[in-house]
Amino acid sequence: MSASPILQTFALGDQWPTIDPFLFCVHHLDHYPASDGQMGPAASLEGRQIGSDFSSRDGWSMYHGTHVPGFPSHPHRGFETLTYVRRGLVDHSDSLGAAARYGRGDAQWLTAGRGIVHSEMFPLLDLPEGNTLELFQIWVNLAASDKMADPHFSMFWADDIPKVETVDDQGRAATVTVVAGSVGDATAPAPPPSSWASRDDSDVAVWHVVLDPGASVDLAPANHFDTRRVAYLFEGGHVMFDGHRLDRYSGAVIDCSRACRVEAGEDAVELLVLQGRPIGEPVASYGPFVMNNRAEIQQAFDDYQATGFGGWPWPSSDPVHGADPARFARQVD
């Protein structure tokens, strides 16, 4: 057996460990009950710490929402959020006046740059049935030269996000959704212009891998010697990397200097794979701000207090966009 491509392993908790250029990765899976007709849950909120509910009680959380689950208005500076929504809907509103409703396979890439305030609410639109929400949110760092770039957001609709699908001679299917980067000839939509991922040599990729029991997929070597790759096994049983086992609810840093075969065990599996070359600059972070030193963090707080990063043009801190389930994006122009 060849040397293991698994360089390091770790357990998956509420927040998944990341490596440069990634700062943060979280997987939200909430099985919300039926809607109350006002886009909130038709269930008692008694016993929850409303305004800060991460309890997963009964299989779901309100987060910072008070009636509609989600994250009311909050600021960011110095990095990007990439949100990939597999099930359910997210309502985006921001301090620039932009808005969107997206989900069901869509992704949003938001460059905070010099500063933006946004809200991310999870409207529950299904009255008689449940409202499952599943999403990944990934924070991608910005290089020092781009931390004060103009804010920008891009919508990647599900139909525009490529999927590489293969079926072996035993009928076992493997699917790789290319949220960022490329797999073979399949290339994701272009990231925002100031993103680290927009640089030709960044080697940034985000792949969602789904394997039937016993199915496999081959991951090609990275394009650069210093690229790093992390795989998160968040669903199903175990998986083998070139014959070396990774158990469920675990993550691993994978040697990407060579090709690697990923094979599911006796159960279907799902993995999220993050890849990129490191930015390699100092990181100073505090809450919603990620800069290069403490003085810049203090400046971010001072600027936000003075300007509100453009103010908040919405009538509430937690706007939602009506009962029509149609997805849309409205840019500031």
Mean pLDDT, residues 37-51 taken together: 96
What's the rounded Cα separation, in Å, for the pair 26 and 277? 20
Report the percent of the chain where pLDDT is more than 90: 96
pLDDT at residue 123 above 70?
Answer: yes
pLDDT (average), residues 207-220: 98
CA distances from 318 to 29, 227, 310, 324 (A): 20, 39, 17, 17
Work out the pLDDT band at 127, boundaries 50, 70, 90.
Answer: confident
Q: pLDDT per residue over 222-233, tens digit each? A: 999 999 999 999
Dist. CA 132–CA 87, nearest whole Å: 6
Rounded to an integer, the average pLDDT of 288-311 is 97
Q: How far apart are CA 48 and CA 214, in angstroms?
A: 42
pLDDT tens digits along 54-85: 999 999 999 999 999 999 999 999 999 999 99
Q: How many CB atoms lie within 10 A of CB 184?
A: 11
Residue 3 DSSP label: P
pLDDT for position 62: 98
SS3 of residue 308 by DSSP:
helix
Rounded to whole angstroms, the Cα distance separating 213 from 37 reads: 40
In this structure, are residues 248 and 265 in contact, taking their beta carbons and an 8 Å threshold? no
* Burial of 44 per CB tally in 10 Å (0-12, 13-18, 19+): exposed
**Minimal CA–CA distance to 22: which of 193, 199, 141?**
141
Q: Is 51 exposed, middle or buried (0-12, 13-18, 19+ CB in 10 A)?
A: exposed
202 — pLDDT class (breaks 50, 70, 90): very high
What is the rounded CA–CA span in Å between residue 110 and residue 102?
13
**Count of residues making up the chain:** 333
SS3 176: strand
Distance between CA 108 and CA 158 in Å, rounded?
11
Mean pLDDT, to the nearest integer, of 139-148? 98
What pLDDT score was predicted for residue 2? 74
* Confidence band of 333 (pLDDT split at 50, 70, 90): confident
3-state DSSP call for residue 158? Answer: helix
pLDDT at 37: 94
Question: Which of 104, 70, 117 shows the shortest CA–CA distance to 308?
Answer: 117
- The position carrying tokens 């990341």 is 18
At 1 the pLDDT is 59
The H helix count followed by the E strand count for the chain is 1, 25
Give this prediction's pTM: 0.96
Report the chain's mean pLDDT, rounded to a whole number. 96
**Average pLDDT of the residues in 304-320:** 96
HEC string of 81-104 equals EEEEEEECEEEEEECCCCEEEEEC
What is the predicted pLDDT for the residue at 256?
Answer: 96
In this prediction, residue 201 carries a pLDDT of: 96
Q: Over the stretch 226-272, which tens digit does the pLDDT of each residue have? A: 999 999 999 999 999 999 999 999 999 999 999 999 999 999 999 99
Is the link from the previous residue into 213 a cis peptide, with omega within 30 of 0? no
Are the CB atoms for 285 and 273 separated by under 8 Å? no
Q: What is the pLDDT, as a whole number, of residue 130?
A: 85
CA dihedral 254, 207, 87, 93 (to 10 degrees): 110
> Rounded to an integer, what distance in angstroms lies between the CA atom of residue 32 and that of residue 181?
32
Reply yes or no on whether the pLDDT at 95 is more than 80: yes
H-helix or E-strand spanning residue 302: helix 294-307
